[in-house]
Amino acid sequence: MLIPEMDGIELPRELDYISTGEVDGVGTWRELPEDADLKGWRAVPRRALWELTGEISFAKANRLYAEMDWRKNSRFCGRCGTPMEDGEDNGRACPKCGYRIYPIISPAVIVAVERENRILLAHNSAFPSGRYSVLAGFVDLGESLEEALRREIREEVGIEISDIRYFDSQSWPFPRSLMVAFQARWASGEIEVDGKEIDSADWFASEDLPEIPGSVSVSRRLIDDFIKRNS
């Protein structure tokens, strides 16, 4: 995405004009034409916005991006192939067969599991080497959030959990998820990683943690909460 270029000036926090192909400060988002004049703007990864401009701008920009991405991917009716039109609400409708669609959000669950003052952290094979975090996964069709949590933990590290409690949630627009965070306790079983998604996992005390995620994510807030209660 693009933010205004300001050499030698610290970016203001909470930018309200993060933008777009228009380079005019209007809060819409569209893809840039090949020959767009980018003078005065610089490209940054969407993830970097949190650090550069703060939480509100990060959320605003990612919402605009998600809308653009959804519109781009919902041009035709999935039922009959006719070009879709905007509906009266925030959905789109097929003028031929009447099929209606709405923006797609994929719920995911994330959980900090604790066992006797230690927290379960795992290394996902997609993480940088040495980085550990709490476990997460997408909710399947027909599952409750709690069922998804139990299944993910069982599949990835082979243990059973209990005392599941809601912690917090976070829009996670990479690409269009809603992360729902929980805390839970170990109930039974010993760690046995699946060897595919998770290649290493262990119980860690607060004074002996491995490298953990930065402060953007709810995963870090879960770990920080554990540290606060156990140090």
If binding is defined by CB under 5 A, does position 77 make contact with Zn ion?
A: yes
Euclidean distance between CA atoms 113 and 204, whole angstroms? 11
Task: Point out which span in 29-37, 76-84, 121-129, 186-194 binds Zn ion (CB under 5 A).
Answer: 76-84
Minimum CB separation of residue 49 from Zn ion in Å reads 37
Answer for which of 26, 36, 43, 97 binds Zn ion (CB under 5 A) is 97
Judge whether 185 and 161 are in contact, CB under 8 Å: yes
If binding is defined by CB under 5 A, does position 80 make contact with Zn ion?
A: yes
Minimum CB separation of residue 68 from Zn ion in Å reads 22
Task: Point out which span in 14-22, 52-60, 72-80, 216-224 binds Zn ion (CB under 5 A).
Answer: 72-80
Minimum CB separation of residue 81 from Zn ion in Å reads 7
Cβ distance to Zn ion smaller for residue 66 or 77? 77
Euclidean distance between CA atoms 83 and 172, whole angstroms? 29
If binding is defined by CB under 5 A, does position 79 make contact with Zn ion?
A: yes
If binding is defined by CB under 5 A, does position 99 make contact with Zn ion?
A: yes
If binding is defined by CB under 5 A, does position 82 make contact with Zn ion?
A: yes
Cβ distance to Zn ion smaller for residue 13 or 79? 79
Cβ distance to Zn ion smaller for residue 96 or 229? 96
Euclidean distance between CA atoms 120 and 83, whole angstroms? 48
Residues across the chain: 231
Cβ distance to Zn ion smaller for residue 58 or 70? 70
If binding is defined by CB under 5 A, does position 74 make contact with Zn ion?
A: no
For Zn ion, how many residues bind (rule: CB under 5 A)? Answer: 8
Minimum CB separation of residue 79 from Zn ion in Å reads 5
If binding is defined by CB under 5 A, does position 94 make contact with Zn ion?
A: yes
Minimum CB separation of residue 73 from Zn ion in Å reads 16
Binding positions for Zn ion, rule: CB under 5 A: 77, 79-80, 82, 94, 96-97, 99
